[in-house]
A and B are shown apart, each in its own frame.
Chain A
């Protein structure tokens, strides 16, 4: 049975258009770990997010996250008419914290933000990713994100698309390349033995091709997240996913 699974992995063609979750590129043991409702290590951070939700006062407006946040994360990033810009889930959460709870903004990459992110996205687990691109700003941002995705960069002169579109399903040394979908983020990554946001993964990918990531305040981060999440429309949210 396992030999068959490995054989199927080896035989998996480069998948062009149809989105395939990173889950399908894992060996059965890693899939089982993700599916394990106790042992999935990402749930440790979901627990932490739940504690922060309770401690910081999110429940004052939103009540129980299991009800109020169900389906919410699956739509992000969204266009915010009130703020006149695109908001990722992280940005939305931080705006809620600063504007409505009077808290200090969290620094980029803070573990508390990733934990909150994981907690909110986890409430959408099992639902299809449904990022809308109907607003002209969203369509333009997604196009900019796709442009970034397809531009070769770094000392290795590789674009994201080189691996994740043209060679998805093929091997890079001992590992099978996935499509680099975002439906499981924040993920528990075995390589890091730690939770990781989409930002962290993008930085790691830049490092892998020996490229400098965009500056922290570069709006392309939002464009890229929008494009990546919309690319996975139709896949189910798997947060917290377990990946290699």
Chain B
């Protein structure tokens, strides 16, 4: 039975939900700005950088990704560091990794959070100053950031 009290309570709940601030989203421009901030304005060249990720992630809270550059670690254009960027998360930086002389390959795997279906961008910097880049789209069923999680 819908009476006036129930209706107002319901409307109040909807309003309360509406004013809860949801996290903003980055845009591709923010990701590009973050890349420039980390690597400067150098152009990108083609290179063997790959992002391995599932095409469909059922939870955005933990998406397994591997970023890899197939280059020997003793070459003059070996990879020194790489950054992973998001085009749609509230913050465009995901992580930055640098590889020391003891690393066997310029590759690292971890789990990241994704705010819904989007492209992620990996930029790698080589020892000779060149930048290489890969872009990868991942579809995400449930976003990590917009689930208003209570502690139950």
Interface hits, B43-99 → A, CB 8 Å:
54-59, 61-62, 64
Query: What 1/0 flags go to B133-152 for Cβ under 8 Å of A?
Result: 00000000110000101111
B64 surroundings in chain A (CB, below 8 A): 29, 33
Query: What 1/0 flags go to A188-222 for Cβ under 8 Å of B?
Result: 00111100000010011011000000000000000
- With contacts A174-B142, A244-B142 known, is A27 near B58, CB below 8 A? yes
Query: What 1/0 flags go to A147-183 for Cβ under 8 Å of B?
Result: 0000000000000000000000000001100000000
- In the bound assembly, the distance between CA atoms of A203 and B62 in angstroms comes to 23
- In the bound assembly, the distance between CA atoms of A190 and B61 in angstroms comes to 6
- With contacts A174-B141, A174-B142 known, is A244 near B152, CB below 8 A? no
- With contacts A191-B147, A193-B62 known, is A2 near B152, CB below 8 A? no
B142 surroundings in chain A (CB, below 8 A): 174-175, 191, 244
Most chain A C-beta atoms within 10 Å of own C-beta, residue among B54, B62, B141: B62
Q: Is the CB of A204 within 8 A of B152?
A: yes
- In the bound assembly, the distance between CA atoms of A244 and B62 in angstroms comes to 10
B55 surroundings in chain A (CB, below 8 A): 2
User: Secondary structure at chain B's binding surface: helix, strand, loop or mixed?
Assistant: loop
- In the bound assembly, the distance between CA atoms of A203 and B151 in angstroms comes to 10
Q: Is the CB of B149 within 8 A of A27?
A: no
- In the bound assembly, the distance between CA atoms of A244 and B142 in angstroms comes to 9
A interface bracket (residues with beta carbon within 8 Å of B): 20 to 34
Interface residue from A204, A207, A244 paired with B59 (Cβ < 8 Å): A244
Q: Is the CB of A203 within 8 A of B59?
A: no
A184–chain B nearest beta-carbon distance, Å: 16
Q: Is the CB of A29 within 8 A of B57?
A: yes
- In the bound assembly, the distance between CA atoms of A17 and B104 in angstroms comes to 52
Interface residue from B54, B56, B57, B59 paired with A191 (Cβ < 8 Å): B59
- In the bound assembly, the distance between CA atoms of A44 and B24 in angstroms comes to 32
Q: Is the CB of A192 within 8 A of B58?
A: no
Interface residue from A193, A200, A203, A244 paired with B58 (Cβ < 8 Å): A244
A117–chain B nearest beta-carbon distance, Å: 18
Q: Is the CB of B61 within 8 A of A27?
A: no
B25–chain A nearest beta-carbon distance, Å: 19
Q: Is the CB of A190 within 8 A of B56?
A: no
B2–chain A nearest beta-carbon distance, Å: 13
B57 surroundings in chain A (CB, below 8 A): 27, 29
- Does residue A30 face the partner (Cβ distance < 8 Å to B)? yes
- With contacts A174-B141, A175-B142 known, is A6 near B59, CB below 8 A? no
Q: Which 6 A-B pairs have the closest CB atoms?
A: A190-B59, A174-B141, A203-B152, A204-B152, A190-B61, A27-B58
